[in-house]
Chains A and B, each alone.
Chain A
Amino acid sequence: MYKKLCGLVLFSLLSVALAQTEVIWWDFLGGGDGVRMRAMIEEFNQSHPDIQITPTTLEWGETYYTRVQTAAAVGQGPDIMTYHLSRYPLAVEQGVLRPFSEDELASAGISRDTFTSSLIEAATFDDQLYGIPLDIHALILYYNRDILREVGLLAEDGTPQGIDSLEGFNAALQTVSEAGYLPLSFQTDNQSATVWRIFMTYLNQQGGSVVDGEEIAAGEAAVQTVEMMANWVEQGYARSNVEYEASVALFASGDTAFHYNGVWEVPTFTDLAEEEDFFDWGAMVVPALFDQPATWADSHTFAIPAGDISDEKLAAVLEVIAWMNENSLQWAGAGHVPAYLPVVESEAYQSLEPNATYAELINNAAYDPNSPLAGVAGPMYAASANFIAPSVNGQLPPNQAVQGFVEELNAQMR
């Protein structure tokens, strides 16, 4: 009798296991946001006994995209993967992504109107939608209120004051410098992606661009943007050759007034502030130092690699995508701005700090250009690291850096 009962229990467990659809998930979220994503996956798995997400986190950047491309080409890719929106032009050209049909979206209750429209547009090629956005992430300016208060740069409302022009910002940096603090930290080494993000931000604030039709071109605005960054290093406002982690640590140490980085470091400082005696920190939209407000931004999306996928698996993947977006308030805790409008409009999100202080950046987001050379760890990032970052470190005159950047990319347009 006992044996029989055991067998029955085992059988029923087994049949549950058999009915489960496994979804192989790849992402590149290795930082503080990765921890939050894992928690969301865990929660999804528990609330969906019929679907089991098996997540793997790979190294961000070139490693990730090389692996995705090769794995997908031989049919060994994941069922669902995170993908930067900036890489879509390249991915679609190379046939890496599988588009979603109207019926598929409808069956999962996913509607284009419920997402930020600019993201949906950027993910659409020839009327086909190649991925579903999860968030917008952008460059922001972190600041140390304690230092700014001490040197008289903090307004009544607790935000920095007098940094609404390049002269004003440089003067503020000078003031901080004279008080004996490091004015600014950002990744300045020759692998720097931050340099590219700052470059794109201030280029767009001057109405400039790096593409002209099919060609790569950059004018005086680009040179001025590089000169601005090189000047920060030359004046000693920011240190040269600072690695990514070191740039974060310089700000976290409490001796640095400003820090340029993406929203994804918000959880790092939030967690630090909870754990120990941390300084009073804030984050804001990148100040408009030129004619118009603009902020470099990109988006994490969900995509399916090209190739065959069973209906059952596809349904499970769509279910995952829908659930992740509906629950993206948690994801916003990682600093990101959700792409799913019902969450953005919810009261809970509107009052989430520090996201609320930079929520407006969505209106002036400057995405990487629509070019197969663009995108995370793509040729433009590489050319920026190759020419612009050394120029910021004072090793190449800015006009030569911009010229080298343009020539290198045009050579790749073959």
Chain B
Amino acid sequence: MTSGRQKRKWRMWRNAFVLVAPFTLLYLLFFIYPTWRVLQLSLYDAQLIGGEQTFIGLENYRDIWEDPLFWRSVRNTLYFVLLTVIPNTALGLVFALMVVRLKRLRSMVLAAFFLPYILPVSVVTLIFQWIFDSQFGVAQIAFQTFFDENIAVFANPNWAMPMIAFVTIWWTVGFNMLLFIAGLQGIGKDYYDAADLDGANNLQKFLYITWPLLWPITTLVLTLQLILQLKIFDQVFLLTGGGPFNSTIVVLLYMYRQAFTRFDGGYSSTIAVALFVLILVAAIFQVRVLRSGRST
């Protein structure tokens, strides 16, 4: 009796193991192992590939702590986060609210807003390099009108980061809009009918029904955005390369420079670990703040 039960239990475990094994193995091989290696490499003075590796303990971490360019890249990354996370979420919500009101044109407008999101980043940056070209770009007409001169936005330390943020929002807002539309469609019509009976106006309906019921989605979008934007690399690499004079250098770009122009495997791994910690702290902090926001 007991042995039969044990056997069954064992068989169950065995089946479970067989079923999760493929994923677990791949996960260990492609996620856990590289992460482990990065952690390990950050304790060494080592080239990216090949060469000798010397264990130096926490020296890389001490160096990074005193590296002004690293801190500059952290500040620039946080600046970029500030410029994108909330604007991108807010804009996604506004577009979603407008799109759900449409009836016949809805799918067309939806497609139009979502279209940029399917473009590869290289295409997006090429488009905006043309639009903002300092000689022939169409945007220069606007700059001429407002500032009386052509502005090479990606070569200008004041303009570069806001414009990278603008390009990023243009590119990705469609996805946020889609998430919000899904959220909006999940809110029962009954609430609004009841509110109508109570004589609520549109603003009241938004503030007391839509906004609170949409809060879980908003939290999700904000968290996804935060993690995504902290990992900014592609747009900066393609549009400014971190310049002019490091005004747009971000953490991943600094890591890339250390890894692929200097081939410093140890130091670049240390930067990667630092970014990991930064994202972890920021995400935990944000989840805390958003939760407390909900309870009040």
- Chain A residues with CB under 8 Å of chain B are 62, 66, 69-70, 73-74, 94-95, 189-191, 239-242, 246, 377-379, 382, 385-387, 389-390, 393, 395-396, 401, 404, 408, 411-412, 414
Which of B4-12, B34-42, B46-54 lies at the interface with chain A?
B46-54
Q: Is the pair B69, A386 in contact by a Cβ cutoff of 8 Å? A: no
Q: Is the pair B155, A393 in contact by a Cβ cutoff of 8 Å? A: yes
Chain A residue contacts of B67, Cβ below 8 A: 411
Q: Is the pair B134, A240 in contact by a Cβ cutoff of 8 Å? A: yes
B151's nearest neighbour on chain A, judged by CB, is A241
Q: Is the pair A62, B155 in contact by a Cβ cutoff of 8 Å? A: no
Q: Is the pair A395, B261 in contact by a Cβ cutoff of 8 Å? A: no
Complex A-B: 25 CB contacts under 8 Å: A69-B49, A70-B48, A70-B49, A73-B49, A74-B49, A95-B50, A95-B51, A189-B155, A190-B241, A190-B244, A378-B261, A379-B261, A379-B262, A382-B261, A387-B244, A389-B243, A390-B157, A390-B243, A390-B245, A393-B152, A395-B155, A396-B245, A404-B246, A411-B67, A412-B262
Q: Is the pair A390, B155 in contact by a Cβ cutoff of 8 Å? A: yes
Question: How many residue pairs, one in A and one in B, have C-beta atoms under 8 Å apart?
Answer: 78
Chain B residue contacts of A95, Cβ below 8 A: 50-51
B57-69: CB near A (< 8 Å → 1, else 0) gives 0000001000111
Chain A residue contacts of B143, Cβ below 8 A: none
In this assembly, does B135 line the interface, its C-beta being within 8 Å of a C-beta of chain A? Answer: yes
In this assembly, does B170 line the interface, its C-beta being within 8 Å of a C-beta of chain A? Answer: no
Question: Closest CB-CB distance, B130 to chain A, in whole Å?
Answer: 12
Q: When the two chains form the complex, which single residue of A74, A190, A242, A382 contacts B240, counting CB atoms closer than 8 Å? A: A190
B67's nearest neighbour on chain A, judged by CB, is A411
In the bound complex, how far is the Cα of B242 from the Cα of A134, in angstroms?
Answer: 34
Chain B residue contacts of A69, Cβ below 8 A: 48-49, 263
In this assembly, does B144 line the interface, its C-beta being within 8 Å of a C-beta of chain A? Answer: no
Chain B residue contacts of A411, Cβ below 8 A: 67-69
Chain B residue contacts of A66, Cβ below 8 A: 260-261
Q: Is the pair B244, A386 in contact by a Cβ cutoff of 8 Å? A: yes
Chain B residue contacts of A189, Cβ below 8 A: 152, 155
Q: When the two chains form the complex, which single residue of B51, B241, B245, B261 contacts A191, counting CB atoms closer than 8 Å? A: B241
In the bound complex, how far is the Cα of B259 from the Cα of A66, in angstroms?
Answer: 10
Chain B residue contacts of A387, Cβ below 8 A: 244-245
How would you classify the secondary structure of chain B's contact residues: helix, strand, loop or mixed? Answer: loop
Q: Is the pair B245, A401 in contact by a Cβ cutoff of 8 Å? A: yes
Chain A residue contacts of B245, Cβ below 8 A: 386-387, 390, 395-396, 401, 404
Chain B residue contacts of A94, Cβ below 8 A: 47, 51, 263
Give the residue among B49, B63, B134, B261 with the most A Cβ atoms within 10 A. Answer: B261
Known contacts A94-B51, A393-B244, A411-B68, then 13 further A-B pairs from the complex at CB < 8 Å, ordered by chain A residue: A62-B261, A74-B49, A190-B241, A240-B134, A241-B152, A241-B155, A377-B261, A378-B261, A386-B242, A386-B243, A387-B244, A390-B155, A411-B67
Q: Is the pair B155, A190 in contact by a Cβ cutoff of 8 Å? A: yes
What class of interface size applies to chain B in its complex with A? 20 to 34
In this assembly, does B205 line the interface, its C-beta being within 8 Å of a C-beta of chain A? Answer: no
Chain A residue contacts of B240, Cβ below 8 A: 190
Q: Is the pair B244, A396 in contact by a Cβ cutoff of 8 Å? A: yes
Question: Closest CB-CB distance, B102 to chain A, in whole Å?
Answer: 42
Question: Closest CB-CB distance, B182 to chain A, in whole Å?
Answer: 40
Question: Closest CB-CB distance, B124 to chain A, in whole Å?
Answer: 19
In the bound complex, how far is the Cα of B50 from the Cα of A95, in angstroms?
Answer: 9
In this assembly, does B156 line the interface, its C-beta being within 8 Å of a C-beta of chain A? Answer: yes
- Chain B residues with CB under 8 Å of chain A are 47-51, 63, 67-69, 134-135, 152, 154-157, 240-246, 257, 260-263
Chain B residue contacts of A393, Cβ below 8 A: 152, 155, 244
Chain B residue contacts of A241, Cβ below 8 A: 134-135, 152, 155
B257's nearest neighbour on chain A, judged by CB, is A382
Chain A residue contacts of B49, Cβ below 8 A: 69-70, 73-74
The 3 closest A-B pairs by CB, nearest first: A390-B244, A73-B49, A241-B152
In the bound complex, how far is the Cα of B152 from the Cα of A239, in angstroms?
Answer: 12
In the bound complex, how far is the Cα of B114 from the Cα of A313, in angstroms?
Answer: 54
Chain B residue contacts of A62, Cβ below 8 A: 260-261
Question: Closest CB-CB distance, B151 to chain A, in whole Å?
Answer: 10
Given A190-B244, A412-B262, the answer on whether A395 and B51 have CB atoms closer than 8 Å is no
A67's nearest neighbour on chain B, judged by CB, is B260
In the bound complex, how far is the Cα of B51 from the Cα of A238, in angstroms?
Answer: 46
In the bound complex, how far is the Cα of B206 from the Cα of A309, in angstroms?
Answer: 72
Question: Closest CB-CB distance, B214 to chain A, in whole Å?
Answer: 42
Question: Closest CB-CB distance, A66 to chain B, in whole Å?
Answer: 5
In the bound complex, how far is the Cα of B241 from the Cα of A241, in angstroms?
Answer: 15
Chain A residue contacts of B152, Cβ below 8 A: 189, 240-241, 393
Question: Closest CB-CB distance, B231 to chain A, in whole Å?
Answer: 21
A391's nearest neighbour on chain B, judged by CB, is B245
Give the residue among B135, B242, B245 with the most A Cβ atoms within 10 A. Answer: B245
A373's nearest neighbour on chain B, judged by CB, is B262
Chain B residue contacts of A73, Cβ below 8 A: 49-50
Chain A residue contacts of B68, Cβ below 8 A: 411
Question: Closest CB-CB distance, B148 to chain A, in whole Å?
Answer: 16
Q: Is the pair A395, B156 in contact by a Cβ cutoff of 8 Å? A: yes
B49's nearest neighbour on chain A, judged by CB, is A73
Chain B residue contacts of A382, Cβ below 8 A: 257, 261
Chain A residue contacts of B48, Cβ below 8 A: 69-70
B247's nearest neighbour on chain A, judged by CB, is A390
In the bound complex, how far is the Cα of B155 from the Cα of A396, in angstroms?
Answer: 11
B267's nearest neighbour on chain A, judged by CB, is A414
In the bound complex, how far is the Cα of B50 from the Cα of A185, in angstroms?
Answer: 43
Question: Closest CB-CB distance, B242 to chain A, in whole Å?
Answer: 7
Question: Closest CB-CB distance, B49 to chain A, in whole Å?
Answer: 4
A401's nearest neighbour on chain B, judged by CB, is B245
Q: Is the pair B157, A395 in contact by a Cβ cutoff of 8 Å? A: yes
In the bound complex, how far is the Cα of B155 from the Cα of A382, in angstroms?
Answer: 15
In the bound complex, how far is the Cα of B135 from the Cα of A246, in angstroms?
Answer: 10
B158's nearest neighbour on chain A, judged by CB, is A395
In the bound complex, how far is the Cα of B249 from the Cα of A411, in angstroms?
Answer: 15
Chain B residue contacts of A412, Cβ below 8 A: 262
A66's nearest neighbour on chain B, judged by CB, is B260
